């Protein structure tokens, strides 16, 4: 389906990440300012959007674009930091701020492209109100997405969080829990796979789509796009923002053609942010 170099990351139960690269004729490192622009991306929808740009817009714009797919939220940033790739497209500002702080990396945003609303899904109940006392909810275990998941539950009256807890909220910050909900913290990519084992799961939009869930239709509750700080953007290592290839890709990613592609392809499950 995709003519991209793929990096597949298997997340072990112990939390270790391993990945294998199959480069299909490409090198293991970024290509420098004169070669193709190598961009790391989550498969859905990020790589799909980039592939659309590569196949339909890049050639006429004089841009050679190579897309590499990653299935986790860590290696795209570390690969950008060490120069294995030139840029990445998968994350939002709160996540990046937290990642840079914890890992000493120097990744910066270039242009915001889209939002993937976070949603609560279940194979066992039809509405959030149907969750029974003591139900188990799977949530992402990275700092920002866990806080975002808990805020989604709080905004929909399932729990109450401490005032001002922000993007570092954990279950320990819950002050009211009327249904005595229990929380299972998992790597974000694992949350949709947990739906047969838990009562419900909060799933990031890209992983929901990959699991054939339709956020606009299947979510019990869904994040609002209005004034949402979690738009996903193209990012580079600090100092590469003025690379002509990066600037060209930023223009293409925020073009009317890409906006129409997002609207037609994702039917509200992914929302253009420009």
* CATH code where residue 143 lies: 3.40.190.10
Residue 272 CA to residue 175 CA, distance in Å, equals 35
* CA 183 remoteness from chain centre: 21
Residue 20 dihedral angles phi and psi, to the nearest 5°: -120, 140
Q: Are residues 143 and 92 in the same domain?
A: no
With pLDDT > 70 as the criterion, what percentage of the chain qualifies?
88
Claim to verify: residue 101 and residue 21 sit in the same structural domain = yes
Share of the chain above pLDDT 90, in %: 79
Where a domain ends, among 222, 241, 256?
222
Residue 98 domain boundaries: 5-117+228-272
Distance CA 203, CA 96 (A): 19
Residues 67 and 129 in one domain: no
How far apart are the C-alpha atoms of 203 and 158, rounded to whole Å? 16
Q: Provide the pLDDT for residue 12.
A: 29
Quickly list H helices, 201-267: 205-210, 215-218, 244-253, 256-266
Are the beta carbons of 252 and 61 closer than 8 angstroms?
A: yes
In 3D space, the residue among 151, 118, 150 whose CA is nearest the CA of residue 231 turns out to be 118
Q: Which stretch of DSSP H or E encloses residue 261? A: helix 256-266
pLDDT tens for the chain, 274 residues: list them.
333 333 333 332 233 333 333 333 333 445 556 799 999 999 999 999 999 999 999 999 999 999 999 999 999 999 999 999 999 999 999 999 999 999 999 999 999 999 989 999 999 999 999 999 999 999 999 988 999 999 999 999 999 999 999 889 999 999 999 999 999 999 999 999 999 999 999 999 989 999 999 998 999 999 987 788 899 999 999 999 999 999 999 999 999 999 999 999 998 889 999 9
Q: In this predicted structure, what is the pLDDT of residue 24? A: 34
- For the chain, the average pLDDT equals 89
**Boundary (domain end) residue, out of 204, 222, 240:** 222
Are 106 and 132 in a shared domain? no
């Amino acid at each position: 389906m995709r003519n991209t170099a793929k990096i597949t990351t298997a997340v072990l139960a112990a939390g270790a990440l391993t990945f294998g690269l199959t480069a299909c004729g490409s090198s293991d490192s970024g290509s420098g300012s004169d070669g193709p622009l190598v961009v790391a991306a989550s498969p859905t929808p990020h790589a799909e959007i980039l592939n659309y740009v590569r196949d339909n817009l890049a050639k006429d714009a004089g841009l050679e674009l190579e897309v590499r797919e990653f299935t986790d939220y860590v290696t795209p940033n570390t690969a950008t930091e060490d120069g294995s790739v030139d840029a990445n497209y998968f994350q939002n500002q709160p996540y990046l701020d937290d990642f840079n702080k914890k890992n000493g990396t120097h990744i910066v945003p270039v242009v915001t492209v889209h939002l993937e609303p976070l949603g609560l899904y279940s194979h066992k109940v039809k509405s959030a109100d149907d969750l029974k006392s003591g139900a188990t909810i799977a949530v992402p275990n990275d700092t920002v997405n866990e806080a975002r998941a808990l805020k989604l539950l709080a905004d929909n009256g399932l729990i109450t969080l401490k005032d001002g807890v922000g993007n570092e909220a954990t279950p320990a910050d819950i002050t009211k829990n009327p249904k005595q909900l229990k929380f299972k913290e998992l790597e974000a990519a694992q949350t949709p796979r947990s739906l047969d084992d838990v009562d419900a799961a909060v799933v990031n939009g890209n992983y929901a789509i990959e699991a054939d869930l339709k956020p606009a239709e299947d979510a019990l509750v869904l994040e609002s796009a209005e004034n949402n700080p979690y738009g996903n953007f193209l990012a580079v290592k600090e100092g590469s923002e003025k690379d002509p290839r990066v600037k060209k890709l930023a223009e293409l990613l925020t073009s009317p053609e890409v906006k129409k592609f997002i609207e037609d392809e994702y039917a509200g499950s992914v929302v253009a942010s420009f």
